[in-house]
Amino acid sequence: MYNRDTSGHGPESNLTVDTPSPPRLAPVDESVTRRIVVINGKGGCGKTTVATNLAVWYAHQGLYPALFDHDPQTSSSRWLASRPGTAPPIHGVSVQERQSLGITRSWQLRVPLETRRVINDTPAGVSGLEMVDHVQGADVILIPVLPSSIDIGAGADFIRDLLLKAKIRRDSKSVRIGIIANRTKEHTVALQSLERFLQSLNIPVVARLRDTQNYLHAAEQGQGIAELRQPSRSLERELKEWQTLLNWVEQG
């Protein structure tokens, strides 16, 4: 559970935004606060890329997202620090930094009153009770998986632990699990292996994000892929895939 900050220091409402606005999601329930956890025990699978791009989309939808950075490498926090001041606001919480400063957990979990989407970027190597703690209270769990034999094996082990130890059911109506096939390259043996693995899970594959330089270019500027200015057929394909992903998250 996250505490609402009623101190009046939430996101500014009069910012001038000169970044492109992504397509409107449909439908979006602005009356509820939804918690989204991006998680996988395997490092390097793109959790931060997914988490930051989610935050960007929701920021442009006026849902005042809060981005919780649980990773000791603080990649999400560093990305947020480089974000243009004219961009729609994203409330950032560097969990590791606040713990080192001795800030209480109740204070640490405060989010602005306007916040409607909370996104957790989790660290690598989570398992057991730590994994259970991260997914507790989640509305949506997103698991990025890369198309390599090592990542597929690690992903299978993690999903098994998630279902057994965290006791999350595939058909649960209170928390929904989705797989993201990440950094895919078309017509490769690795992608074919990943597709066979995903078909065996009985868990929906909610997006297939291709391996493109667009994500790198956006991250370098503290932006999301939906905020890139240069038009291209490649970018259009990625935006369509992201809209599919966001619509799946929101349909709950």
Q: How far apart are CA 65 and CA 63, in angstroms?
A: 6
**Which tens digit of pLDDT belongs to each residue from 232-243?**
677 888 999 999
Q: Do residues 224 and 218 lie in contact, with contact meaning Cβ atoms separated by under 8 Å?
A: yes
Task: Name beta bridge partners: 180.
Answer: 144, 207
User: Collapsing DSSP states into helix, strand and coil, what is residue 35?
Assistant: strand
Contact 196, 172 (CB under 8 A): no
Specify if 15 maps to a domain.
Answer: no
User: Percent of the chain having pLDDT more than 90?
Assistant: 46
Residue 25: the pLDDT is 65
* Cβ proximity of 129 and 160 under 8 Å: no
18 domain-assigned: no
Prediction pTM value = 0.85
Region 41-48 average pLDDT = 92
Q: d(Cα 129, Cα 141) in Å, to the nearest integer? A: 16
User: Which segments of 112-188 does DSSP mark as H helices, in order?
Assistant: 128-135, 149-164
Q: Is the pLDDT of residue 35 over 60?
A: yes
Residue 90 included in any domain = yes
89 DSSP assignment: P
pLDDT of residue 156: 87
Q: Is residue 180 part of a domain?
A: yes
Digit-coded pLDDT (tens) for 132-163 = 999 999 999 999 999 888 888 888 889 888 88
* Each residue's pLDDT tens digit, 72-92: 999 999 999 999 999 999 999
How many structural domains comprise the chain? Answer: 1
Evaluate whether residue 16 is within a structural domain. Answer: no
**What's the whole-number mean pLDDT along residues 8-22?**
45
pLDDT at 210: 92
Give domain status of residue 11, yes or no: no
Give the pLDDT mean for 179-187: 89
Q: Which residues form the domain of 107?
A: 30-250
CB-based contact 141:51 (threshold 8 Å): no
- How high is the pLDDT of residue 99? 55
- Residue 67: pLDDT over 60: yes
Q: What is the pLDDT of residue 13?
A: 34
Distance CA 22, CA 174 (A): 28
Residue 88, domain member (yes or no): yes
- What is the C-alpha separation between 143 and 38, in angstroms, rounded? 6
Average pLDDT, the chain: 83
Supply 45's token pair.
């699978």
Q: What CA–CA distances, in Å, run from 118 to 149, 197, 203, 250?
A: 32, 30, 23, 13
Average pLDDT over residues 98-124: 74
Asked if residue 224 is part of any domain, the answer here is: yes
Indicate which CATH number applies to the domain containing 209.
3.40.50.300
Render pLDDT for 165-182 as a digit per residue (tens, 0 to 9): 888 877 677 889 999 999
pLDDT value, residue 48: 96
